[in-house]
Amino acid sequence: MGAILRIEHPVPDYDAWKHAFDADPIGRAQAGVQRYRIMRPVDDVGRVLIDLEFDDVGEAESMLARLRGLWASVDGTIMSSPEARIVDVVEAAAV
């Protein structure tokens, strides 16, 4: 069914972070991202949760490795202390 790379981290300035995200410095489509979702907790708009969807776990692992390199160069600026995990989609349904 695919895999999701779920990322969560604080953003001190959402607009600046979103501009950097939209610039796509690591090439999401070329890395196998099929779709993404950006979410913000309603009680903490200074955080973002991002789901990057892939066809398989290997693509998600490769993207996570690339992201760790990017994060090292921007940690403490437009974002900080990212947490990430890869999850395997075992079921999805519309109700």
Q: What is the CATH number of the domain that holds 70?
A: 3.30.70.100
Which amino acid, one-letter code, is at 15?
D
- List alpha helices for the chain, DSSP H: 14-23, 57-74
Number of domains composing the chain: 1
pLDDT at 74: 87
24 part of a folded domain: yes
pLDDT(1) > 80: no
The per-residue pLDDT for range 47-90, each reduced to its tens digit, is: 999 999 999 999 999 999 999 999 998 888 899 999 999 999 88
Tokens of residue 29, six digits: 């489509």
Range(s) of the domain holding residue 54: 3-88
Q: Do the domain assignments include residue 59?
A: yes
- Domain assignment present for 39: yes
State pTM to two decimals: 0.92
Is 95 inside any structural domain?
no
Average pLDDT, the chain: 94
Average of pLDDT values for 20-46? 96
Residue 38 in any domain: the answer is yes
Residue 77 lies in a domain: yes
Q: Is 8 in contact with 85 (CB distance < 8 Å)?
A: no
Q: Which two tokens stand for residue 21?
A: 């995200």
